[in-house]
Amino acid sequence: MYSLAAHRRRALIAVALSIAFAMLVLGVGRTIFRSIYLDRLPPGVSQPAATAVFDTLVRFLRASVRALGAVALVTAIGAFLTGPSKTAGTVRRACVTGIGAVRGVALSAGLRLGPVGRFTHRYKPWTGGAILLVAVLVLVTWSYPTTAVVLWIVVALLAAFAIREFLDAAEDGATARDAGGGTGPPGADSMLRPS
């Protein structure tokens, strides 16, 4: 059992990519079946009516397949980017450096984060978990999530993580790196990690 738990991130990526591939196969299969169904209609059946009936019956299936495929791909990408690979670390550092540059400009212009920055720094893992929980709850409680809904939730999720990173300051006017004396960008390895 421990050997299964040792590679949870890899397993999650593999499962998510498998689900995305299965949704792709299901979508292609539905399209092929639609063509076969419409080509084999009896001579007296109206083609537009049969097409409308078929499309109405599978409308929610098509939307669900696309949405689930998008969720699976986003999950795989997220799991990869929170991992220890060199590519993931480079992406995280680039994001944190960019956000840090924006924060530096804002601080030099007179912005003071004060207790908000200290709170965000102290409870950064908890706020990350809360952001992920809210995103999951929105997705799960959405009546008919589509691919567009999934993508907008991801955009909002990334924006919330960016705001959290922007607000992360151990002291008023100082970033977490300044307070901790680290050499790398502040939170470079934890920007996308909830904990």
Domain count, the chain: 2
Q: Are residues 93 and 74 in the same domain?
A: no
Confidence of residue 2 (pLDDT cuts 50, 70, 90): very low
Q: Are residues 8 and 72 in the same domain?
A: yes
| Residue 168 in this model has a pLDDT that exceeds 50 | yes
| Whole-number pLDDT of residue 179 | 39
Mean pLDDT estimate for the chain: 83
Q: 84-131, pLDDT tens digit by residue?
A: 889 999 999 999 899 989 988 988 888 888 888 889 889 999 999 999
| Residue 52 in this model has a pLDDT that exceeds 60 | yes
Q: Are residues 96 and 50 in the same domain?
A: no
Given 43, 61, 81, which residue is the final one in a domain? 81
Given 64, 81, 98, which residue is the final one in a domain? 81
| Whole-number pLDDT of residue 73 | 94
| Whole-number pLDDT of residue 126 | 93
Q: Are residues 140 and 67 in the same domain?
A: no
Write the single-letter amino acid at 27.
G
Domain of residue 58: give its range. Answer: 1-81
CA distance 63 to 57: 12
Given 38, 56, 81, which residue is the final one in a domain? 81
Q: Are residues 104 and 178 in the same domain?
A: yes
**Residues of the chain with pLDDT > 70: what percent?**
84
| Residue 184 in this model has a pLDDT that exceeds 80 | no
pTM, rounded to two decimals:
0.71
CA distance 175 to 168: 7
> Within its chain, how far is the Cα of 113 from the centroid?
27
174, 130 contact by CB (below 8 A): no
| Whole-number pLDDT of residue 177 | 43
Q: Are residues 144 and 177 in the same domain?
A: yes
